[in-house]
A and B are shown apart, each in its own frame.
Chain A
Amino acid sequence: MISCVTFRNAFAPGTESAEVLQHVRVCDACLDHAAGIDPDIMFRALGGENLVPPGGVDAFVDDVMREVRLRSTEQTLAGRRGMLLSWPRRIAVAATLAAGLSGALMVWQHDKNGVAVPSAMTARSAAIPTRLTTKPVIESYDSANATIVEVPSEANDTKIVMIFDESLPADL
């Protein structure tokens, strides 16, 4: 590599001398000096001795584009993750859940009200209905002059019924 003195003697604006450009890559003082005269020297010096990147220009371009596509994909994915948590999406999810629950409730109520009533031939398991009716103990009595008194009682308590009938014999 040339010395600083040699560099300063050999330097001229717009130079493409490999030795000159190599020197500014390693000597900051000379780079400052040269940049003051020729601002573009720094960029020309970056290429170093070989301006073609390793693997060729095409490989370099491919690497750059691959990196660009990778970043682009990452940004897209990050955007989608953000969209899932955005408020319109949340509303949509809530509405879907509400619709599902409403549908389930509708089916449940439909089943509850619309269960086919078993026919007399097939529903023998439910022998006695839960709501029992009450009948009078005496349904009929073979006398027109009788008075029948039924003493009120609880459902399963002893039932007392009296028949007062003038036609009954005295020596019962």
Chain B
Amino acid sequence: MKQFLISTLLVLMTCGAALAEPTADGKALTVRTYQFKYKDADKAAAAIKALMSAEGSLSIQPSANSLVVTDHPDNLKQIAAALAAFDAPAQAFKLTVRLISAAKMEGTPRVPTELQDVAPKLAMLRYNSFEDLGTIEVESHEGEPGLVDMPTGYRADFRVGEYDPSSDSVKVNDFRLSKLQGAHKDELTQLLKTSLNLKLGQTVILGASKASGSQRALMLVIVAKR
């Protein structure tokens, strides 16, 4: 009987020691290698940097188009999911851009019916009179350029960048808004050039004016969707 009890105690002690191991493993770093089929490893590295812990590290292997990531197992799960979503064939995105001329005017505010949905938000920017300059809707795949002319004399051109699963956003590179001027509308003046991160489904109001006290501004209401 004594032998049996001693054996049982030994089993319990072994189990206790084994139980302590997972806690230690949770803090340990693990190394994983991810190889990409559709996207570049360096772009993938940029996409997952925000998901990595302070102890994590990564290295890019351009020859194999792969990424070696070292991080905690919990982080690696999220990173793996993000990379799986990232390394997909070029996705199509629909971009809707509404162009609005905003001004601060004395007297009664002027808000066209078609702008009622965004007027409260625009009013936060001290403007009370709005004019709809047109809406463009364009569908484009990752990496493809887009160019749209509006009847009101504005032109927008851009290149749809990579989808970033870590922020559920798509990058719009080299977004340029230009204005056709001149007697024959043949002189193109660039108004602004920027690169944007657009979270899918979120409405972004991008305003541009000479100074914070300007009476006029050009507003772009942009929504990116799949």
- Is there an interface contact between B1 and A126, defined as CB atoms closer than 8 Å? no
Interface status of B141 (Cβ within 8 A of chain A)? no
A65 to chain B, nearest CB (A): 33
Tell me if A113 and B19 are in contact (CB < 8 A): no
Annotate B196-219 by CB proximity to A: 1 below 8 A, 0 otherwise: 111101111111111110101110
Q: Which of A110, A121, A172 contacts B217 (CB 8 A)?
A: A172
Interface string of A115-155 (1 = CB under 8 A from B): 10111111111111111111111111111000101010000
Closest partner residue, chain A, to B124 (CB atom)? A160
B76 CB within 8 Å of chain A:
yes
- Does A9 sit at the interface, judged by CB under 8 A? no
B12 touches A95 (CB 8 A): yes
Does B19 lie within 8 Å of A102, measured CB to CB?
Answer: yes
In chain B, positions 121-175 with a C-beta closer than 8 Å to chain A are 121, 124-125, 164-169, 171
Which residues on B sit within 8 Å (CB–CB) of A132? 166-168
Does the CB pair B204–A159 fall under 8 Å? Answer: yes
Within 8 A of A (CB), among B2-28: 4-5, 8-9, 11-12, 15-16, 18-19, 21-22, 25-26
Nearest B residue to A98, CB-CB: B12
Show the binding face of B for A, using Cβ within 8 Å: 1, 4-5, 8-9, 11-12, 15-16, 18-19, 21-22, 25-26, 30, 32-37, 50-51, 73, 76-88, 101, 118, 121, 124-125, 164-169, 171, 179, 189, 191-199, 201-212, 214, 216-218
Sample of 18 further A-B pairs with CB below 8 A, known A129-B82, A156-B199, A159-B202: A95-B9, A99-B8, A110-B21, A114-B73, A117-B79, A119-B34, A119-B80, A120-B35, A120-B86, A124-B84, A124-B85, A133-B51, A160-B125, A160-B205, A161-B204, A163-B194, A163-B209, A165-B208
